[in-house]
Amino acid sequence: MRVLIADDHPVVRQGLKQILLADPDLEVSGEAEDGDQALDLARRVEWDVALLDFSMPGLHGLELVGELKREFPSRPVLLLSMHPEGVHATRVLRAGGSGYLNKGSTAQELTSAIRKVASGGKYLSPALAERLALDLVLETRKPLHESLSDKEYRIMWMLASGKSIGRIARDLSLSPSTVSTFRMRILNKLTLSSNAELVRYAISHNLVE
């Protein structure tokens, strides 16, 4: 089974490769250090499963999932993140991802997740599956950021990570005025009034590291 891996930290990539190569059924078909490189690599090499970091330079995790699923709809994409599963997992699944795994997971959990999504299933840890089921039963009120569109969520994350409007405009190929409009819409939806409040909100909800 050929796995394409992408993470902007060389040490993490090396660790992932060691885990995968220790399994006789798995091999690494290529590795990338940012989202743009990962998409380019996916177009050039043969792979069966993509294993991606959620927070990389270039294409953001959700955008990268969307691009890969548009071009390779039958191939599963598994996301890794430092953030707790409850923070991004639901949005990843809505974007077309096949699973979400915290980087604190064991090597066995990682290889099991790869096998699960490669066979056509979805991977959620038992703890996350229980939480999602409980949310459905209790109809728990969703946090305000769940009301954001994927584009708004991406810009919110970039703003909360300290990127300027000009930098976001360049990264997303938008005009600064369009980004400013998105910013105001995001602040209104989150009932916030400034970037400083947005940063505090994102930190308090574990949306940024």
What structural domains and CATH numbers belong to the chain? 2-136 (3.40.50.2300), 144-204 (1.10.10.10)
pLDDT in tens, 27-73: 999 999 999 999 999 999 999 999 999 888 887 778 889 899 999 99
Residues β-bridged to residue 28:
3
pLDDT in tens, 102-126: 888 899 999 999 999 999 998 987 7
> Got the DSSP string for 92-108?
HHHTT-SEEEETTS-HH
Q: Is 123 exposed, middle or buried (0-12, 13-18, 19+ CB in 10 A)?
A: buried
What is the per-residue pLDDT for 90? 77
Instruction: Kindly state the tokens that stand for 155.
Output: 């810009």
Q: 135 pLDDT band (50/70/90 cuts)?
A: low
CB neighbour list of residue 167: distance below 8 Å, 6 or more residues apart: 158
CB neighbour list of residue 163: distance below 8 Å, 6 or more residues apart: 171
pLDDT in tens, 179-190: 999 999 999 999
Does residue 137 carry a pLDDT above 60? no
> Got the DSSP string for 104-141?
TS-HHHHHHHHHHHHTT--B--HHHHHHHHHHHHHTPP
Does residue 129 carry a pLDDT above 90? no
Q: 159 pLDDT band (50/70/90 cuts)?
A: very high
Does residue 208 carry a pLDDT above 70? yes
Of the candidates 160, 155, 205, 154, the one whose C-alpha atom is nearest the C-alpha of residue 181 is 155
Q: If DSSP codes are grouped into helix, strand and coil, which group holds residue 175?
A: coil
Q: In what order do the strands lie in the sheet with 27-32?
A: 27-32, 2-6, 49-53, 77-81, 99-102
B/e letters for 23-37, b = 16+ CB within 10 Å, e = fewer, are beebebbbbbbbbbb
What is the per-residue pLDDT for 184? 94
Determine if residue 164 is left, alpha or beta; phi over 0 gives left, psi from -120 to 50 gives alpha, anything else beta: beta
What is the per-residue pLDDT for 124? 81
Greater confidence (127 vs 81) lies with: 81
Instruction: Kindly state the tokens that stand for 6.
Output: 């992408």
Residue located via tokens 């940024």: 208
What is the per-residue pLDDT for 146? 81
Does the pTM surpass 0.75? The reply is no
Residue located via tokens 């190929």: 173
Cβ–Cβ < 8 Å for 35, 58: yes
Instruction: Kindly state the tokens that stand for 189.
Output: 């939806």
Does residue 140 carry a pLDDT above 60? no
Strands 49-53 and 77-81: parallel
